[in-house]
Structure 1
């Protein structure tokens, strides 16, 4: 079975389980990137009942936001249900810029609270499909599977690393109420994704045509120092918004009597961008000991 047919079979299995367990269609997550574009195309080809959901992170590039709106309009014309979910935290509307002061620290590679709040809350107690791929990082290769049943108790999580995993029956019969996930293209390479995109003539986020390698949140620590520097040169207003959020974060830390060796939002920003020339920094242990 080739990769396209295998991905379609995974989606069909997930759609069946979604209708059986949750009495709702499979929820396909959509970020406006190449992987989610392929995911939607495969779901359509699979002939399944599904809906498409975008988690509005508030830190995506304007071009990505516009592209998502255009694609959702086109999908709705094809009678696909689409929705954009606005983020909430502690039952209140939130953005990246208001979340940072509440968390009392910048988002980092080690503490990715932004993903947890702004993206990963979507689809709670549903069966979702994502474009996660092992080729994206070693961490994903070691921790993500073809299908997953996530639970706050790690001992109750079930991750199927292959289509014939011996835990498959347990996965299908488990009655835990939690989010279930299928990653249909988890074993696809970058070349596989682009080859499929071109062969099927799928719409492409215009940022890729500008040479961007990723189209996630601007300033994401996972993009690496060089990538983030290029992003802030391209979208300078976002640098100002981060610095402003860091200023408010420092105000809250001072008001709470917490350690605050940084003097300005720019000091925080330079530390956050991994500038080794900044002295008197708080250690990560100091920060992680506070609000999560």
Structure 2
């Protein structure tokens, strides 16, 4: 381990040992991803009382629950299935992430350790500056959040995992068994992905079909909703979310503008792109 990484490890352990435990064990927020593997290992190294918890979103990649259980992580069931949530609230987008508050972002313990790193994104770099923050959850519940690897880089994470002999989720390894630190684990089809989830839908097209079916139920049962008025059906809604940068572009593509004969049929376009019959 390099001297620079050792200093980061020492700081992380010191931070973890400074967390008060008078009100019970500390939650280690475990997602199954590489960063949560690191904070779980650091918690073990620090010798602190903790509860490693995985919040099942019902839409994480296959094998995630089994991997978490293999690590001795406690699995919490969601209060509502993702697709049932879509039926009630509509399809989530990068500007409307209601699914997170129901499936991931809720309080369990008064104090929690999370594997957030500033180098993951510009947004996180701007948002997080200190390794300890206070977070407010729905119903005005509050928790102290500790970020022991806030300043770690991908290289730090990869080196630590190699040094400690940590076995990560199978999706981090290629066919030759090589570990890829650049890979990310997360909800299937998450709109916050750089490609808005399209690559996930290519890999799991049946998931897309269920999303469309659930979105159609929302539209059918909420005719006054903006989604129903603007798009009419789930195929149009999903096409707009995945392939259009603006409402104007969506309208132009689906009407053909001045050339109606070249108008795109969203259902056919989605079926051709994802190579699946999306009839619901």
> TM-score, normalised to structure 1's length?
0.74
Listed as ranges, the matches of 1:130-279 within 5 Å are 130-144=114-128, 145-151=130-136, 178-210=142-174, 213-225=183-195, 228-254=197-223, 259-275=228-244, 278-279=250-251
1:27 equivalent in alignment to 2:27: yes
Native 8 Å contact 1:31 1:55 kept in 2: yes
- Structure 1 runs, 4 residues or longer, greater than 4 Å off: 255-259
Q: 1:11 aligns with which of 16, 26, 34?
A: 16
Deviation string 1:203-259 (CA, Å, 9 cap, x unpaired) is 11111114682110011111122x722211212221112111111121122166975
Change (3 A) 1:257 1:137: closer
What stretches of structure 2 of length at least 5 have no aligned partner? 1-5, 175-179, 254-280
What stretches of structure 1 of length at least 5 have no aligned partner? 73-81, 89-93, 154-175, 282-292
Native 8 Å contact 2:31 2:54 kept in 1: yes
Change (3 A) 1:257 1:127: closer
Native 8 Å contact 1:55 1:122 kept in 2: no
> TM-score, normalised to structure 2's length?
0.77
Native 8 Å contact 1:261 1:280 kept in 2: no
Which one has a bigger Cα radius of gyration? Answer: 2
Change (3 A) 1:237 1:177: closer
CA drift at 1:152: 6.4
Once residues 222 and 141 of structure 2 are traced to their aligned partners in structure 1, the CA distance between those partners, rounded to angstroms, is 37
Q: Which moved more, 1:196-205 or 1:207-216?
A: 207-216
CA drift at 1:122: 3.6
Aligned pair count reads: 237
What is the RMSD computed on CA atoms of the aligned residues? 2.5
Once residues 280 and 85 of structure 1 are traced to their aligned partners in structure 2, the CA distance between those partners, rounded to angstroms, is 45
Corresponding position of 2:69: 69
Once residues 232 and 141 of structure 2 are traced to their aligned partners in structure 1, the CA distance between those partners, rounded to angstroms, is 46
Once residues 117 and 125 of structure 2 are traced to their aligned partners in structure 1, the CA distance between those partners, rounded to angstroms, is 8
Corresponding position of 2:98: 113
